[in-house]
Amino acid sequence: MNKRLPLLCLFLFPFLLFAQNKFSMADAILKGRTTLAPASLKQLQWIPGAAQFTHVVDGKMVRVNAPDLSVDTLDLLPGINEVLKTMDAQPLVGLPTLYWTDADNLWFQSENNLYTYSFGKGLKRVNSFSAGAENTDIHDKTFQVAYTKDNGLWISVAGKESGVAQSEEDGIVYGKSVHRDEFGINKGTFWSPAGRFLAFYRMDERMVTQYPIYVLDSMPAQARFIRYPYAGAKSHHVTVGVFDTQTSKTLYLQTGEPAEQYLTNVAWTPDDKYILIAVVNREQNHMWLKQFDAATGAFVKTLFEETSDKWVEPEHPAVFVPGSNTQFVWQSERDGFNHLYLCDLSGKAVLQLSKGAMPVTDFYGFSADGQNCFYQVADETGLNRFVFSTDLKTGVISRLTDEEGVHNGMINSSGDWALDVFSNTATPRFIYAIPVANPTDRRIVFGAKNPLDGYQIGLTRLLTLPSPGGATLNARMILPPNFDSKQKYPALVYVYNGPHVQMVTNSWLGGGELWMHHMAQEGYVIFALDGRGSANRGFRFESSIHRHLGDAETEDQLTGVSYLKAQTFIDPQRVGVYGWSYGGFMTTSLMTRPEAKGAFRCGVAGGPVIDWRMYEIMYTERYMDTPEENPEGYAKSSLYNYIDNLEGRLLMIHGTSDDVVLWQHSLRYIRECVSKGKQIDYFVYPEHLHNVRGKDRVHLFEKIERFFNENLRDVKAGRP
């Protein structure tokens, strides 16, 4: 330990366009995020209270001093395993994921046990919990654990397990994520800062429609049921409980009526006294940030409200300023772009911390003294990401990164150093150490070589096109290796174009994936476009789709197709389209809506939404209102209405256990195609959820590749 080593630093190799080797579709899928992805530093993190960070190399922790980049190596695993043997615990085969609590202490989880490691006191087991625990939530100071089993909620304190709440009957769920993971919700438990209290969701979904998922290996066939709230139908009811670990008593916050409201973005005040909840009405056009007394459950006051004639969508809880029990940062699109606001418990916005046509895309936190906050923004083009800071007292905004591309920041606890994980279309990955007081004095910590060196990789172009709606649209084109502008190539358009997603960025490969480059190796031009409705371009751009899903998106995608077909190297008769989920909805739209007639020879629609009346309440009603309120919008977007227009080859794919876009969508579509005498190709992935994962994903993309080869590549150029 403490042996000094040279700093690990691999420099960027030139990007070769005309190398000899290809990779297979299986390589693209299975290795695209591992050996064929740019290398990085594993377990990269700052040590709290220090200008030092660590990462793991070959099972050993490397500690780096940011000011001079000197390093030492901490070989922790042998000592950890020696103590584990004395505990009759299973030794670790590799270094686990370690988390620093301060400069001398770390903690980690191994199976269902939590351990602390101190450089002075060694290894100690501090908690354990049931092996069948799910949705574990670990308090990082007390190491208490909240978790669910079945639909009940439990906690473990120092190895002693206690039941918090148990489901009274089928349809009542404790401690799990609610509202279908919308509004930024991804869990159902919330520890108070000191760890005495646990806030948790209770969801009553007994009134929600049940939907069957078939279990194939049972004889006779069986079905398990999920509860799925369709647009316009009954929604589940949610309340928030507070469990006191000292008294083992539970109370519920007085969140009131109506029952069909959304309780989002739960946050504690630092003194454990109050809970803030962003309450959204079912119509999703009104948000109240409400304060509740954690000791009594009483409603205290509404801090402020936000309204919109389209939607409000809080996705980030209040984050309190260090050293203050009253001041917090709130994210809002109230001025048309997602920005940071310094607020207090009086309800007043003290200061707007970020400004302009550059939405905040990530909030990193504060310096320990509460003087500065740090965050990432998308620039006006939407293509680049930069790291900024703002002084909370003066409002002075500082920019920490300049080079065009995507910068992801990691700020140390004191706020005087930042790690910048950077890439752009020419740079696989660099990691810099940046002194916040002098950002131009950045130091190279790590550089990844080109992982595709030696492979045939075609040129990626980032393009801008005008939208019929007035905005500028970002697009990406991938050309085949050894591209010849005199040839005629088939083209494949990859589409999503739905909310919360951006496909084109100034990052490595332009945001594209390796399966696209494999298809380019096989002689395709690959094209993608972020039309109106997609993310990180401001509320006006993103809300263009309100009440009319598919209209603006189709218009923008056809703009891209027109540009594509106008290129002399594209065979306009051999253009196909592929998308999944919202992209499946768009693919089917582009194959059948009358305004898209003749645009595509063939298409692959995966997990497609066919009729928004069959999709979940929280997402659909935000963008479409209810079917009763917007019958014209629902009718126009229903793809059952356009089946008669289907002319090209359409392959539809669905997972039989899809609990996001129900299998019913595509099954009904097939039934209607049969009724209307329209031929359609169809394939299912038994027992797969919304996305086909694991080794079966190779099968999926090989099927997609074969379909396009048969319909685009292996046909005579110019064939009508």
Contact in structure between 242 and 254 (CB atoms under 8 Å): no
- Say how far apart CA 358 and CA 325 lie, in whole Å: 29
Residues 437-467 pLDDT 10s: 999 999 999 999 999 999 999 999 999 999 9
Q: Which residues of 63-72 are buried (b: 16+ CB within 10 A; e: fewer)?
A: bbebeeeebe
- Say how far apart CA 236 and CA 185 lie, in whole Å: 15
pLDDT for res 714: 80
pLDDT confidence bin for 542, thresholds 50/70/90:
very high
- Say how far apart CA 216 and CA 222 lie, in whole Å: 7
pLDDT confidence bin for 715, thresholds 50/70/90:
confident
- Give the residue among 175, 226, 182 at the shortest CA–CA distance from 203: 175
* Secondary structure letter of residue 639 according to DSSP: G
The DSSP element (H or E) to which 85 belongs, if any, is helix 77-86
- Show the 3-state SS of 683-706: EEECCCCCCCCCCHHHHHHHHHHH
Structure tokens at 207: 């009134």
- Say how far apart CA 369 and CA 560 lie, in whole Å: 49
The residues, any chain, with a CB within 8 Å of residue 303's CB and separated by 6 or more, are: 276, 289, 290, 291, 343, 345, 346, 347
Coil, helix or strand at residue 414:
coil
658 counts as catalytic: yes
500 counts as catalytic: no
Share of the chain above pLDDT 90, in %: 94
Contact in structure between 644 and 210 (CB atoms under 8 Å): no
Residues 89-107 pLDDT 10s: 999 999 999 999 999 999 9
* CATH number, domain 144-313, options 2.140.10.30, 3.10.310.10, 3.40.50.720, 2.30.29.30: 2.140.10.30
Write down the catalytic residue from 286, 500, 548, 690.
Answer: 690
pLDDT for res 219: 87
* Count of beta carbons in the 10 Å neighbourhood of residue 196: 17
- Say how far apart CA 389 and CA 329 lie, in whole Å: 13
- Say how far apart CA 441 and CA 445 lie, in whole Å: 13
- Say how far apart CA 509 and CA 215 lie, in whole Å: 40
Contact in structure between 425 and 440 (CB atoms under 8 Å): no
The CA-CA-CA angle for residues 65, 71, 75, to 5°, reads: 120
pLDDT confidence bin for 16, thresholds 50/70/90:
very low
- Say how far apart CA 10 and CA 445 lie, in whole Å: 9
* Count of beta carbons in the 10 Å neighbourhood of residue 382: 26
* Secondary structure letter of residue 219 according to DSSP: S
540-546 long-range contacts, CB within 8 A, separation 24+: 540/336, 541/471, 542/499, 543/310, 543/311, 544/469, 545/499, 545/623, 546/310, 546/311, 546/623
pTM: 0.95
pLDDT for res 531: 98
pLDDT confidence bin for 717, thresholds 50/70/90:
low
Residues 383-419 pLDDT 10s: 999 999 999 999 999 999 999 999 999 999 999 999 9
pLDDT confidence bin for 162, thresholds 50/70/90:
very high
Domain boundaries, the chain: 41-128, 144-313, 460-713
Contact in structure between 637 and 552 (CB atoms under 8 Å): no
Q: Whole-angstrom distance between the N-terminal and C-terminal Cα of the chain? A: 70
690 counts as catalytic: yes
The DSSP element (H or E) to which 670 belongs, if any, is helix 664-675
pLDDT for res 716: 66
Structure tokens at 134: 């799910």
What's the mean pLDDT when you consider all of the chain? Answer: 95
Query: Dihedral of CA 164/166/168/169: which sign?
Result: positive
CATH of domain 460-713: 3.40.50.1820
Structure tokens at 424: 């752009």
The CA-CA-CA angle for residues 294, 296, 301, to 5°, reads: 70
Could you check whether 144-313 and 460-713 share the same CATH topology? no
pLDDT confidence bin for 3, thresholds 50/70/90:
very low
Write down the catalytic residue from 389, 423, 467, 581.
Answer: 581
Write down the catalytic residue from 658, 665, 666, 688.
Answer: 658
Structure tokens at 422: 């950077």
User: To which residue do tokens 């020696």 refer?
Assistant: 82
Residues 644-663 pLDDT 10s: 999 999 999 999 999 999 99
Task: List strand residue ranges (DSSP E) for 66-121, in order.
Answer: 71-74, 99-102, 105-110, 113-118
